[in-house]
Amino acid sequence: MKKLLFVFISLFCALNVTNAQKVETSIDLFGGAGVNEYNNYAVGVELFYGYNFNSYFSLSLGVGCRYINDVSSAGISASSLLYLLIPAHARAKINFSNGNNPFFCLLDAGYAYNFNKQKSLVLLEPALGIDFNKKVGFAIGVVLYPGEYTKTYSSGSASSYGFGGNTVEGCACIVCFKVRFVL
């Protein structure tokens, strides 16, 4: 295992030294607020490693760690759940210009392992942003993922018959802000 880790780190360093213009490593800090009944807020950090095909287009693979405060699948409508997600996803980045401060579009799509329950999530994250000197970038976007919410009935209706509520499935949506540091 140590040999495999050493080979991976050596390859990573060699690619960065020999192909500095083509290979890009970045760290994203992530924060967001929910905009519907399925979630409240999320924070996290992600590491991306990618390849710049030219000054306008790049592809990356990333992994991260996010804490989500969510009412999705909580089982009761009044309380929320705090859980950990490990997203692994691909990123396509399109720069709209070739200057030092280009505007860009990000599209992240992938899968997030959920440590709280059996069901993990498919994520889709489009965003728009700007890079400063191609080293620091700011982006605003949305995070979309499937959500479930248990709605309880009001007093005097179906709850008197022993029914506690029904589960509604929908799309959870978080408006997010990302700060991107290119290493």
Predicted TM-score of the model (pTM): 0.72
Instruction: Tell me how far apart the alpha carbons of residues 92 and 120 are, in angstroms, rounded to a whole number.
Output: 22
Angle, CA of 171, 180 and 172, to the nearest 5°: 5
Going by the DSSP 8-state scheme, the letter that residue 153 receives in this structure is: P
pLDDT band of residue 122 (cuts 50, 70, 90) is: confident
pLDDT for the residue 10: 60
Has residue 110 got a pLDDT over 50? yes
Q: What is the CA 62 to chain-centroid distance, rounded? A: 10
pLDDT band of residue 75 (cuts 50, 70, 90) is: very low
Instruction: Tell me how far apart the alpha carbons of residues 181 and 183 are, in angstroms, rounded to a whole number.
Output: 6
pLDDT for the residue 60: 95
Give me the mean pLDDT over the 126-151 stretch. 84
pLDDT for the residue 47: 95
pLDDT for the residue 99: 80
**Domains in the chain with CATH codes:** 24-144+172-182 (2.40.160.20)
Has residue 73 got a pLDDT over 90? no
121-132 and 39-52 as β-strands: parallel, antiparallel, unpaired? unpaired
Least confident segment among 30-34, 36-40, 75-79: 75-79
In total, the chain counts a number of residues equal to: 183
- Residue appearing with tokens 């709280």: 116
